[in-house]
Amino acid sequence: MHIKWKNIVYVLVVCLLVFAVVQQVGILVGNIRNVTAFTENDEATKEEIAEEEVSKEEGKADNSNDKKVFNNEFFKIIMKKSIPAMELGYKKNGEEKGGLLSAIFAATTKINMKDPKTLLSSQIPMLEKYEPDDVEITVEEQKAFNELTQKPMNDEKTEVATTMPSRAKLDNKEPLVLIYHSHATESFMESDQTKIEYSSPYRTLDKSKNMVKIGEEIKNILEKQYGIKVIHDTTLHDYPDYNESYSRSLKTVEKQVKENPSIKYVFDLHRDGLNDTPKNREKTVTVFGEQKSAKVFMVVGKDNFNAQQNMQFAQKIQNNLKNKQPELTQPIVARENRKYNQFVSDYAALIEVGSNLNTLEEALQASVPLGHVIGEVIVNQEKK
């Protein structure tokens, strides 16, 4: 009889838990529908405005803002309904309460209450891959940017040299290369040699331990060993706000190419974001000689008028890197509905050097052959 009552109590507890979960899911779905309805209603409003011949520029700005509202609200709803206590941190209109408690919470947990995505990504690092393309731009505007940097591509652009000139040098008086970082604070795992003060999971403001350090390594190789003058912009475009990183970095690129019209090659250096599993760790680390190294791959945004040219340039780097260090490279990733500001040049590349599962030392190890391959590809291209 005693066992029977225990079974009944157990069933009741399970039923209550299921009911609570269903109720929370219902609340979550309802809130998501409300947010979606908000964006749909606002879109309808914009269509009416468009019929009244309001400018296209205003329409694009509204559309961009709606996407950002939805993205932020989506994450806030998930976190507040999954963690009810978190709801206390927000006013009824959804805004975070400021003050000392928020500052202490951010400092001790590395979580920004204004960006609940940081809480999710602290447990699921690969969530960093969710990157809304915040740059709204027409094809005509893309071409206008492109004209600032572009010379006609050589007819032989689809061919990849199997042997490159050894340490052939250019003698540039003016900058030919721009290196920058849309996500400059991206960093790596700590190691025995390197301790990192993270500003949020796997990110740091210390430019000697984030992507700026990787860019500096490649810049030094290009300048000292290939005679290629480089502008390395170290602006932290993703801090303090990760949103609109690409919009801010586009302004940097525009500024740099206008001030330095000789710039032709544009590199945005990142590191990948992966979930911390043994399989992913194995995927992102290689060994050549006695050194552990991160792996490298390139990303091409297909939502650019010059996506084919960018792909050809990426393939040149990819194939030459494969010839030199086949274990170092991973396949090129082409992403639909993404631009990554690559419309600025037919020689623009987004390069992922390692991931959050690599150490800084491994990423720097990968930067050396990568820098040499970039230098050789540029020298070969310029001497045609």
CA distance 98 to 330: 44
Task: Give me the DSSP letters along 158-176.
Answer: T---SS--TT-----SS--
The 8-class DSSP code of residue 209 comes to S
pLDDT (0 to 100) of residue 243 = 86
pLDDT (0 to 100) of residue 53 = 43
The residue behind tokens 């544009």 is 266
pLDDT (0 to 100) of residue 344 = 95
Region for 237 from its dihedrals, namely left if φ exceeds 0, alpha if ψ lies in -120 to 50, beta otherwise: alpha
CA distance 171 to 222: 12
Consecutive sets of 10 residues in the chain, 384 residues long: mean pLDDT of each?
Answer: 64 71 64 51 47 44 50 54 47 45 53 50 50 60 60 39 50 90 97 95 96 98 97 96 92 95 97 91 87 96 95 97 94 94 96 97 98 97 86
Phi, psi dihedrals of residue 269, rounded to the nearest 5°: -95, 130
pLDDT (0 to 100) of residue 154 = 41
pLDDT (0 to 100) of residue 39 = 47
CA distance 368 to 376: 12
Q: Nearest-CA neighbor of 185 among 171, 170, 197, 193?
A: 197
Q: Partners of 142 in the beta sheet?
A: none
Strands 265-272 and 348-355, bridge-based pairing: parallel
Tokens of 292: 């552990």
The 8-class DSSP code of residue 203 comes to B
pLDDT (0 to 100) of residue 325 = 92
pLDDT (0 to 100) of residue 384 = 74
pLDDT (0 to 100) of residue 304 = 94
- 3-state DSSP assignment of residue 267: strand
Q: Nearest-CA neighbor of 27 among 91, 87, 96, 105?
A: 87
CA distance 270 to 330: 15
Distances from the Cα of 48 to the Cαs of 52, 55, 60, 69, in angstroms? Answer: 7, 12, 14, 20
CA distance 101 to 353: 37
pLDDT (0 to 100) of residue 16 = 72
Prediction pTM value? 0.66
- 3-state DSSP assignment of residue 112: coil
CA distance 121 to 195: 21
pLDDT (0 to 100) of residue 104 = 54
pLDDT (0 to 100) of residue 12 = 75
Task: Give me the DSSP letters along 309-346.
Answer: HHHHHHHHHHHHHHHH-GGGB---EEETT--TTGGG-T
CB-based contact 234:252 (threshold 8 Å): no
Distances from the Cα of 239 to the Cαs of 78, 108, 204, 271, in angstroms? Answer: 23, 18, 10, 16
Helices assigned H by DSSP within the chain: 2-51, 56-82, 100-109, 117-123, 139-146, 211-226, 245-259, 278-284, 307-324, 360-382
